[in-house]
Structure 1
Amino acid sequence: MFFSWLKRRSRDRIKGQPFPDDWKAFVAAHLWQYPALNAQEREKLQHSIAILFAEKNWEGCNGLELNDISKVAVAAQVGLMTLGLGEEYFDKVMSVLIYPAAYRAESQVATGGIVMSTQSDRLGEAWYRGPVILSLPDVFEGSQSPNHARNLVIHEFAHQLDMLNCSVADGIPPMETKEQAEAWIANFRRAYEQQVHDCQTGHRPLVDRYGATNEAEFFAVLSEAFFQTPKPLSTHDPGLYDVLRTYYRQDPLRWTH
């Protein structure tokens, strides 16, 4: 209880500080959704950016010297996706690690009872109660164009939302009511099965093919499409768009008008 009080007090103090002019100019120029936000949403976004900037441990990797604007670029996209989610500042994400480009990472794969270590190139990762890892060029690329469906920041932080109710992402983030959960599961599973079918049969899928990997990746890719290209998503699957809108408590379609 005392810790929560201290955190609220700290955050209130951060919110009360002036938002730096260079941060404001950067967000206005590089977050394509920003002009469509109303005054209240812009203020909340600025508060989220300032809190994420202050509370997270930001680290540049592979020799990257991380500047404030790079941190703001990440925090702005995270703040955008949580505009409707109340006081969501990803308390379980302690660190954000940023690489100057794609990086090599090791993973373990079990095959025939043998665990083998392999390496692969990656753009980002999200760990349960651990860091979010991002490639800096992709951080900037995802936020600037309304016609660009990919957004690495939204993708990885969607995984973190997914893991708020379990240690392994499964495509079902926490829901407020039983009815909301039932609607989510019905629409999500139907759409995921169609995504897999389309990818397997050579048809054009609803979202990026990577979404057919598993349910967790489907949710992350859907979140990218929801915030980046909401119009085609809502047109092709209005039921799925509706449960995403209910979950995120905002409607990105209005940004496109």
Structure 2
Amino acid sequence: MLAILTILLFGLSAMAWLGSSRWRKTRHRNRVLASPFPKAWRAILKRRLPFFHALPADLQLQLKRHIQVFLAEKHFVGCDGLQITDEIRVTIAAQACLLLLNRKTDFYPKLRQILVYPDAFIVDSQRQDPAGLISEQRNVLAGESWEHGQVILSWKNTLEGAANPHDGNNVVIHEFAHQLDQEDGYANGAPILQRRQDYRSWSSVFNQAFNELVHDAAMGKPSLFDYYGATNPAEFFAVVTEVFFEKPAALNLEHPALYRELSHFYQVDPINWR
């Protein structure tokens, strides 16, 4: 009996703590949103993010509010001597929050830090071949998303991606698509969808498009998607997300079913932004 009461009390305490934690988070966000969007931040949006002007007025307002919450909750760290400025913070936050528009969101709840390097950075890793042999590798990267709460970005590549919103290449969008994919624990190309029945259609459409890209990459056939998307389903989701936001008309023309899945997931229709 005592054990049962102890378990019950523990459960009630945990529920009370979770409830108070959510209440504190909501109260803090409301305080953040009660403040006006800084004029200096608006200037950064105009200077660095051409896509912002294409958004409908309601989405511009929503994006600015998302940026306020994002910057209040996420910690930026400069690497290799880079000094973090509002220009860096706002430029990254705006592109990351583009993926959250019109959606119920907790603002990348697992994400704690954004590490920013001046340029592309080197990552040492190990790779095991089918025979079990492990080899050391050095990769030069523009961005990386980690499951345990970090995104790493090159500031140079971030600026290049922001400056041309129509080329289908955006490192911030790519890495934060991975963050969405990782919210259920690991990246597999299937983020958390709105309804259980959505997964069947998602799986069918994405598997077909992924297999087509794998074939195109193997044959050297031109594709709307970067061949890097053929690496695995997680990379494919990140790559097609870049194309969805930056080349929506071409995506809808060549892969209408894939465009519909992404539009349903992201709850936006970027064709109408152009």
TM (normalized to structure 1)?
0.95
SS at match of 1:142: helix
Q: Does 1:144 align with 2:144?
A: no
**Identity over aligned pairs, percent:** 38
Q: Which residue identity does 1:245 align to in structure 2?
A: S
Pick from 135, 140, 154 the counterpart of residue 135 of structure 1: 154
**1: CA distance, partners of 2:256 / 2:236:** 16
Q: Does 1:101 align with 2:146?
A: no
> Which one has the largest radius of gyration?
2
Q: Does 1:205 align with 2:223?
A: yes
Q: Which residue identity does 1:79 align to in structure 2?
A: C
Show the counterpart of 1:156.
175
Show the counterpart of 1:88.
106
Residue by residue over 1:89-148, the C-alpha shift from the partner in whole angstroms, topping out at 9 and shown as x without a partner, is 111000000000011111111133233332211111101132000000111111222322
**1: CA distance, partners of 2:162 / 2:261:** 23
**1: CA distance, partners of 2:203 / 2:50:** 31
Q: Which residue identity does 2:174 align to in structure 1?
A: H
Cα contact 1:124–1:133 (8 A) shared by 2: yes
Q: Specify which structure has the higher proportion of helix.
A: 2
Show the counterpart of 2:4.
none
Which stretch of the first structure deviates more once superposed, 21-30 or 185-194? 21-30
Cα contact 2:56–2:273 (8 A) shared by 1: no
Q: CA RMSD in A?
A: 1.3
Q: Does 1:24 align with 2:30?
A: no
User: What is the 5 A alignment of 1:61-80?
Assistant: 61-80=79-98
Q: Does 1:180 align with 2:186?
A: no
Pick from 176, 184, 189 the counterpart of residue 165 of structure 1: 184
The structure 1 segments of at least 4 consecutive aligned residues displaced by more than 3 Å after TM superposition are none
TM (normalized to structure 2)?
0.90
Pick from 128, 132, 146 the counterpart of residue 113 of structure 1: 132
Show the counterpart of 2:7.
none
SS at match of 1:178: coil
SS at match of 2:140: strand
Aligned-pair distance for 1:244? Answer: 0.4
Contiguous gaps of at least 5 residues in structure 1: none
**1: CA distance, partners of 2:250 / 2:60:** 25
Show the counterpart of 1:218.
236
**1: CA distance, partners of 2:148 / 2:63:** 24
Show the counterpart of 1:191.
209
**1: CA distance, partners of 2:165 / 2:128:** 40
SS at match of 2:70: helix
Which stretch of the first structure deviates more once superposed, 9-18 or 137-146? 137-146
Show the counterpart of 1:12.
30
Residue by residue over 1:204-231, the C-alpha shift from the partner in whole angstroms, topping out at 9 and shown as x without a partner, is 1231111111111000000000111111
Contiguous gaps of at least 5 residues in structure 2: 1-18
